[in-house]
Amino acid sequence: MYALAIDLGTTTLATSLIELASGKRLAMTGSMNPQRRFGADVVTRLDAAVHSEEALQEMTRLIRAELWRLAGQLCETTAIPWTSVQQIAIAGNPAMQHILLGMPVRPLAFPPYRPAVTAGTYRVAHELGWEGNAAVYVFPMPGGFVGGDTVAFLLGAQPGEATLCLDMGTNGEMALVAGDTVWATSVAAGPAFEGGNLSCGMAALTGAISSVSIQDDRVTLAVIGATAPVGICGSAAIETVAGLLNHNLIEPGGRLRDPGEIPSNLATRVIQHKGENSFVLHRDAKQLLLLTQGDIRQIQLAKGAIRAGMEVLAVKACIRFQALKDVILTGSFGAVLQPEWLKTIGIFDSSMVQMCRFTPEGALSGVERAIFAADGFASAERTGRRFRVIPLSGTPVFETLFMQHINFPDTNHSS
């Protein structure tokens, strides 16, 4: 028997085929979420769905078709017939799960932002337009914009007391464990950390710049697949901003300095493009890849929102950041994300850098763990019931904290 695990992300999709008897992952694949043409984030897509039943149905059709395509790709890669796949488990944020299931989305789009159901949902493959009668389980949605992907992340990570779990995706979910309670929230971070909404952003696929190292006046790129670069993934964009901050090319307010203000040869990499300063990542006869002032603003806004959300959770859980015992980070931003970069851009404190550990495929690993548990997904349901969701939209405290953290830290140590 085999099972299919799915991480239904706003920006990226990840699927794996696993063998139940051995608990082994046989293959994994992923792609961009085809719904992105309706908007880069959940708020935009929900708005489209609320105002047009046709748009909602098209988003449902698109995601079901793409997941079916990925499932077929996995079966072809492993030479395992689809009829041998008897279990499917899916985790995503509430908006993505509602759209997949064809549930009404209006309750999610307006206060108090409640999902149609909070417990897990059971379906059969043919009800989603897929062949056969494989059992489908869609993870619990504790509330608001905190959904099955966060539940799966927690289930897979198995965090202990005073642990901060952070998923730096488009929906910016985060959870703080305090005793038996999991305090959780989400922020509209946007897709910048996943490479979306950046001028040359892309998922961490072949051709993506995966690292941008700035040493003295030299800029060294690493590219996935060792080929010519065609874009930059989220982790490399964060690394670039951190490097530019460390070299004083970006002011704390987020402005990329003019070439005349830069005393090093890095000044030659700052050009005017479409009326704004931009940093040249790569240039050849075919390509001009830039990190633009607009890209920097996107990262700045995302990091401000995430830091503010973290602070709201800390207050609710009565846990100071200095008292954290563990920080677990996940996201689809790329292969490597150094905690030090997150300190440089203003998300982490020094203590968090020391204890942070990165869990790739956090939600997908949790979905797999739930399948392997073979308990009818009781463990996922128990985890979901521990959540206390804190809504942030329109909350004055969050807005105040967001404005406090909108700037980057001052890294000009000479002053």
pLDDT in tens, 194-215: 777 899 998 888 999 999 999 9
Within 79-134, where are the H helices? 94-101, 106-109
For 20-145, list the strands marked E by DSSP.
24-32, 85-92, 121-124, 135-138
If phi over 0 gives left and psi between -120 and 50 gives alpha, with beta otherwise, what is residue 129?
A: left
pLDDT at 414: 38
Q: Quick one: angle between helices 53-78 and 94-101, nearest 10?
A: 90
Whether the CB-CB separation of 204 and 336 falls below 8 Å is answered with: no
CA gap 399, 235 in Å, rounded:
26
Please report which confidence band the pLDDT of residue 412 belongs to, taking 50, 70 and 90 as the band edges: low
Q: Between 362-373 and 378-385, two packed helices, what is the crossing angle to 10 degrees?
A: 130
Residue 335 predicted with pLDDT over 80: no
pLDDT of residue 174 exceeding 60, the answer is: yes
CA distance 303 to 326: 20
- Of all residues in the chain, the percent with pLDDT exceeding 70 is 98
**Residues 312-316: what's their mean pLDDT?**
94
Beta bridge partners of 183: 176, 388
Instruction: Identify the residue whose tokens are 């329109």.
Output: 394
Return the domain boundaries, the chain.
Answer: 2-157+363-374, 201-283
CA distance 75 to 221: 35
**pLDDT for the residue 415:** 35
Write the pLDDT tens digit of every residue in 351-369.
999 999 888 789 999 999 9
- DSSP H helical ranges for 248-338: 293-317
CA distances from 358 to 222, 231, 335, 400 (A): 20, 23, 10, 29
DSSP letter for 409, please: P
Per-residue model confidence (pLDDT) at position 190: 77
Which range has highest mean pLDDT (124-138, 222-236, 324-338)? 124-138
Question: For residue 38, what pLDDT band results from cuts at 50, 70 and 90?
Answer: very high
Residues 127 and 138: their CA atoms lie apart, in Å, by 13
- Give the burial class of 414: count Cβ atoms within 10 A of its Cβ; 0-12 exposed, 13-18 middle, 19 or more buried: exposed
Mean pLDDT of 138-160: 94
Instruction: Note the CATH number of domain 2-157+363-374.
Output: 3.30.420.480
Contact present, 256 and 249 (Cβ < 8 Å):
yes
**C-alpha span between 243 and 214 (Å, rounded):** 6
Lowest mean pLDDT among 10-14, 115-119, 399-403: 10-14
Question: Would the pTM of this model clear 0.85, i.e. be above it?
Answer: yes
Alpha carbons 69 and 119: distance in angstroms, whole number: 27
What is the average per-residue pLDDT within 385-410? 91
Q: What is the mean pLDDT of residues 397-407?
A: 94
